[in-house]
A = this chain, B = another copy of it.
């Protein structure tokens, strides 16, 4: 694998910064993009040198395979600034490794880890003023790879582009999150690509999610496609369920994304003395617990949404509300994670990486 240092990466600076025109007080999620991006092309059988250039349009032939065969993967990370202006990433190597896990499954050439990590560090140096300081905001980082090689034959492309783009962002969800436990549509197949962050996994969720929204839910909780008896995960979050005092979450599989936040939640819960169980969770068990009062909390966990408490769920035309707890696991764990991410608390796990 090639190796590169962040100082070797050429920077072509924009002459028209949008920084002054950006309202950092009122950021939506992933709608505003920073001035520069990292780009890196795969051609002639190797990943070429990455560069940093002004964020701007990409030119592609209509026969580029991204348009036809969905050959694309991505990651989602965040950069945080502490009160002294120091910049941090959270467990970034997890994303680097997962991108390559996704690459392999989607027949995309794996990216040298350095190109990603050193490239990201170089980009963040150029773009550090784009990292919001406001609580609850952060710089969302979107590394992605897609097929630029041409042809209508349904086979892998011979050219690809890796980009890291940055979006200063506020909260992913606007308000309360009510979820629908889905029994008809599915997110992924046994032996499919569900464990990869492949573009196609997301487009397939839009229509069922739209149907759920029309009924008043913000998110779908997917169940296994064979029996629909077990919960899997949400659109862009892993899911936790607290029954009595135990925190449950599904084991990862080839259908479920191995979330960095999920792993971190499990670790923090353990550290906090909260009992956790990683095992298949039956829908019927959740419904039962909701009915008899044992269901205390549900929440989603993901980089974009951080920890999102779920206020209620729908299942088979029945609606279940969750109690509002004073000292919820969700809030306890969220505070620990965010404090570690933003350098407000000690980091006993070695997750924070200063850049």
* Contact between B152 and A30, CB atoms less than 8 A apart: yes
A172 within 8 A of B: yes
Which residues of B have CB within 8 Å of A37? 62
Which one of A19-27, A138-146, A273-281 is at the interface?
A: A138-146
A190–B228 alpha-carbon span in the complex (Å):
10
Q: Which chain B residues lie closer than 8 Å to A184 at the CB level?
A: 191
Q: Is the CB of B69 within 8 A of A155?
A: no
A294: min CB distance to chain B, Å: 29
Complex contact A188–B198 (CB within 8 A): no
Contacts of A188 in B (CB 8 A): 189, 192
Per-position 1/0 for A179-196, Cβ under 8 A of B = 000001111111111000
Q: Which of A41-49, A101-109, A128-136 contacts B (4 or more CB under 8 A)?
A: A101-109
Question: A140 — which chain B residues lie within 8 A by C-beta?
Answer: 152
Closest chain B residue to A207 by CB distance?
B107
The residues of B that contact A354 with a CB separation of less than 8 Å are none
Given contacts A57-B59, A59-B57, contact A154 B192 (CB under 8 A): no
> Is A1 close to B, CB under 8 A?
no
User: Is A199 an interface residue, CB under 8 A from the partner?
Assistant: yes
Q: Is the CB of A142 within 8 A of B152?
A: yes
* Alpha-carbon distance between A72 and B59 when the two chains are bound, in angstroms: 18
Shortest Cβ-Cβ A-B pairs, 3 listed: A200-B200, A30-B152, A70-B199
**Beyond A69-B202, A70-B198, 17 extra complex contacts between A and B, CB < 8 Å:** A33-B61, A33-B62, A57-B59, A58-B59, A62-B163, A67-B144, A69-B203, A69-B206, A70-B202, A70-B204, A104-B207, A155-B209, A190-B225, A191-B225, A192-B225, A198-B200, A199-B199
Closest CB of chain B to A194's CB: distance in Å? 8
Contact call A236/B154, Cβ cutoff below 8 A: yes
A60: CB under 8 A from chain B? Answer: yes
Cβ of A165 within 8 Å of any chain B Cβ, yes or no, is yes
Would you call A67 and B66 a contact (CB within 8 A)?
Answer: yes
Residues of B contacting A31 in the complex (Cβ-Cβ under 8 angstroms): 150-153
Contact of A204 among B29, B61, B106, B202 (CB under 8 A): B106
- Contacts A192-B225, A200-B200 hold; do A68 and B142 have CB atoms under 8 A apart? yes
Cβ of A238 under 8 Å from chain B: no
Partner of A30, one of B61, B105, B151, B236: B151
Task: Give A289 Cβ to nearest chain B Cβ, in Å.
Answer: 25
User: Within 8 Å CB of A58, what residues of B?
Assistant: 59-62
A167 is an interface residue with CB less than 8 A from chain B: yes
A264 within 8 Å of B (CB atoms): no
Give 9 CB contacts A-B under 8 Å.
Answer: A31-B151, A66-B72, A70-B203, A71-B206, A107-B210, A156-B206, A189-B225, A192-B192, A200-B201
| Distance of A70 Cα from B237 Cα, bound (Å) | 18
Is B74 in contact with A165, judged by CB distance below 8 angstroms? no
A112 located at the interface, meaning its Cβ lies under 8 Å from any Cβ of chain B in the complex: no
> What is the 8 Å Cβ interface bit string for chain A, positions 160-176, against chain B (1 contact, 0 not)?
00010101010010000
Report if A205-B29 is in contact (Cβ < 8 Å); known contacts: A62-B165, A199-B69, A199-B200.
no
